[in-house]
Amino acid sequence: MNRHPTTNRHYLIGSIFIALGLVLMMGAFGIGPLSPADLNGPAWIGVATGMVFAAAGAAVMLGRDTPRLRLALVVTLLAGLAVIGNWIAFGIGERTCNGSIGLLFVLTEQSLSGLACRIPFAVGAMMTNGILLYAVATLIQKIAGGPPRLNRLVKLAEWLMLLSLGPVLIPLIAALLLMAVSGALWKRLTTGFWPRNEAFIQRHRLKRTQGRG
């Protein structure tokens, strides 16, 4: 019984993505409206980019009743993204990209090169690598069946994703700690008292009183 039928809308969206993917893949070899120079990279990057679009379109067209095949397409999509991200972040050669810097609600376009261009892509590449490993482990598990047998691969994927969040989480945690410390110092300087969580103190005292009773 088909519980999640594929509608005409799914076929239309999927066809558009597949067509875009084919145009990019053919353009990598100089066929069609695009040329290799338009791809701003080697031919295999164009193939990987086209593969991402084609896999996404095929996954949309399949619907939800073929979970293993859909997951295989998701793995293909993630593999394409991982190839692109890792090449930009860690590949040989000069890297130049355009970025927007926000200052007082004003976005300024700026050309970035070298590490300034590679680092953001490195963060994304590590995250994509972790998600890809996790998806591969899940796909193998669905095919093999039974209890989880790829715990080490799953743990490695989780660590990769956690490490990729480091450049974002560490400054965020440091900023929150700085705000908390500066707020406490300001209260001490202005009132002569350190901030106290009165609600927590009252609950603790109530529990101690109930325990004695």
Name the domain count of the chain. Answer: 1
Is there a contact between 125 and 90 (Cβ–Cβ < 8 Å)?
yes
Strand, helix or coil for residue 55: helix
At residue 79, does pLDDT exceed 60?
Answer: yes
Write down the pLDDT at residue 193: 74
Q: In angstroms, rounded to a whole number, what is the distance separating the alpha carbons of residues 178 and 34?
A: 51
Write down the pLDDT at residue 158: 77
85 in any annotated domain: yes
92 in any annotated domain: yes
Helix (H) or strand (E) holding 173: helix 151-191
148 in any annotated domain: yes
3 in any annotated domain: no
Length of the chain: 213
6 in any annotated domain: no
Range scoring the smallest mean pLDDT among 21-30, 37-46, 199-208: 199-208
Write down the pLDDT at residue 106: 47
Average pLDDT value for residue range 21-47: 86
The residue type at 149: R
1 in any annotated domain: no
Write down the pLDDT at residue 56: 92
60 in any annotated domain: no
Q: Return the structure tokens found at 170.
A: 């560490």
Which domain does 133 fall in, by range?
A: 66-212
Convert the pLDDT of each residue in 85-120 to its tens digit: 899 888 887 777 765 554 444 455 566 677 777 888
40 in any annotated domain: no
Average pLDDT value for residue range 56-75: 85
Helix%, strand%, coil% for the chain, nearest 5: 70, 10, 20
